[in-house]
Amino acid sequence: MIEHGPLLERLLAGEFVCAVSDDNAFRHLANEETRDAIDDYLRPLNRRLASNDEGSVYFLAWRQLNEGAREQLSRQLSDTVNSLLPLLEWLQLVQEALGRDTLAAPGDVLKPAEFSAKCEDNQSLRERLERLATDSFFGSQSDQLDAQVKQLFKRLKEHGYLLQPHTERQVFVVTGKIDYLIEVVRFIRDEENLPIDVEQEEGAQEALL
């Protein structure tokens, strides 16, 4: 268990561990025995190891849900719901600004400078960025484009969606928490029967083999 000390600390601190944020730990977590050992260790703390459906990101869940835990989860859920729209709009904005054909996915590299430059040249992107940056989730007070972009990336880093490998370099990597966010969206859509285009069967192609 000694060698997993730093990993446990990160998990206990509420972090999401994925292949991008900690490749080594993530590989350890792929091992069922390690997961069981960590679960045993966490038992007295009323926590257990959990992952998203895809298994691309790990985090700690309550083992027993008491009243206090439910209160905390309710608050957290409402925070998540409140941050949903700005986060999703950001994903769309990045995709459009950088001219990519897909949404940002774990491991993708994002450079604030490139993002700024693209928004600067395009009035519509510029306006959307402005609106997004001043949203209470991102909370930018500035009317300068660069400062707004900086604030966006800062907040996303704080929330664990982005990772900055070198503090002195303005280069960010998308983490596996994005997968978690997408799954949350999918869950809400299915659970609330929202009238949103139901995706095609993902498994259909594999079934051909």
Partner 1 sequence: MSELESRLLKTGAERLALLGKHAERLMQGYTRDDVPLDGLNDSALRKLLAARVLWRPDEQSGVKLSPKVRDLIAEMLADETRRHVNADVAETLELVRSLVHSYREARSRGEHWRQEQQLLRLRQEVDDLNGRFADAIDSLWQRLNSDFGFVSQLSDKIRENDRAQKQIVRLLDGLALIDFDELIALVGSDGSLRKLLISQLQQRLSHHYTSLREVQRRLIELMARFRKQQARSRLISGMVAFMREHPGFVPSNYAKRSDVPALFNHAVPLHAAAAPALDRALESRVLAELLHELPTPRHATQTVESAVPALTPEDSLAAARQQALKQDVERFYLAVLDQPPAEPISALAYLYDSHLEWPDEIWLFQVISEYQGLPRSEQQAFRLHQDESPASPFNDLRLIHDVALAVAV
The whole-angstrom separation of Cα 131 and Cα 90 is 11
Single residue of 92, 122, 142, 144 touching partner 1 by CB under 8 A: 92
Q: How many CB atoms lie within 10 A of CB 28?
A: 18
3-state secondary structure of 110: strand
The whole-angstrom separation of Cα 56 and Cα 62 is 19
Single residue of 3, 32, 101, 158 touching partner 1 by CB under 8 A: 101
The whole-angstrom separation of Cα 47 and Cα 103 is 33
Report if residue 125 touches partner 1, rule: CB under 8 A: no
The whole-angstrom separation of Cα 79 and Cα 70 is 14
Stretch touching partner 1 by CB under 8 A, among 32-40, 111-119, 127-135, 190-198: 190-198
Please give the residue ranges that form the binding site for partner 1 (CB under 8 A): 9, 12-14, 45-47, 50, 52-53, 59-62, 65, 69-70, 72-74, 76-78, 80-81, 84-85, 88-89, 91-92, 95, 99, 101-103, 105, 180, 182-189, 191-192, 194-197, 199-200, 202, 205-206, 208-209
